[in-house]
Amino acid sequence: MAHPSHDEHPHVPGPSLWPVGFAVGVVVLLIGLIVSWVIAGLGAILALVFGFLWVRDLTTGTELAHAEEVPPESPTGANVPADVGPAALPPADPADRYPRSKFLEISTLGLGAVIGGLVTVPVLGFMVAPAFLKQGEKDHDIGPIGSYPEGKFIVTTYMTNIDEGEVSRRTAFIRNNGQLIGQPSFTIISNHCAHLGCPVQPNGPLDAAQGKKYHDVTLIPTISIAGFGCPCHGGQYDTEGNRTSGPPVRALDRYSFSIRNGNLFIGKPFAVAKVKGTGAQAKIYKQTFAFPGEHVDGPESWLYPIQPPH
What does the DSSP assignment read for 24-90? Answer: HHHHHHHHHHHH-HHHHHHHHHHHHHHHHHHHHHHHH--TTTTPPPPPPBPTTS-B--TTSSTTPPP
How far apart CA 280 and CA 277 sit, in angstroms, is 9
Task: Give me the tens of pLDDT residue by residue for the chain, a chain 310 residues long.
Answer: 555 554 555 555 556 677 888 888 888 888 877 777 788 888 889 888 888 888 887 777 544 444 455 555 555 556 656 556 565 566 655 555 667 777 777 777 777 777 777 777 777 776 666 656 655 567 899 999 989 999 999 999 998 888 777 888 899 999 999 988 888 999 999 999 999 999 999 999 999 888 889 988 999 999 888 899 999 999 999 999 999 999 999 999 999 999 999 999 999 999 999 999 988 889 999 998 888 999 998 888 888 777 665 5
Angle between helices 37-60 and 100-128 (to 10 degrees): 170
How far apart CA 253 and CA 298 sit, in angstroms, is 17
Sheet of 201-202: strand order equals 201-202, 228-229, 236-237, 243-245
Tell me how many degrees the CA angle 301-235-136 measures, rounded to the nearest 5.
Answer: 55
- Break the chain into its structural domains and give their ranges: 6-132, 140-303
Q: How close are the terminal C-alpha atoms of the chain, in Å?
A: 74
Architecture of domain 140-303: 3-layer Sandwich (2.102)
pTM value? Answer: 0.60
Angle between helices 100-128 and 18-35 (to 10 degrees): 20
- Cα dihedral 127→130→131→132 (10° resolution): 120
DSSP lists the bridge partners of residue 276 as: 283
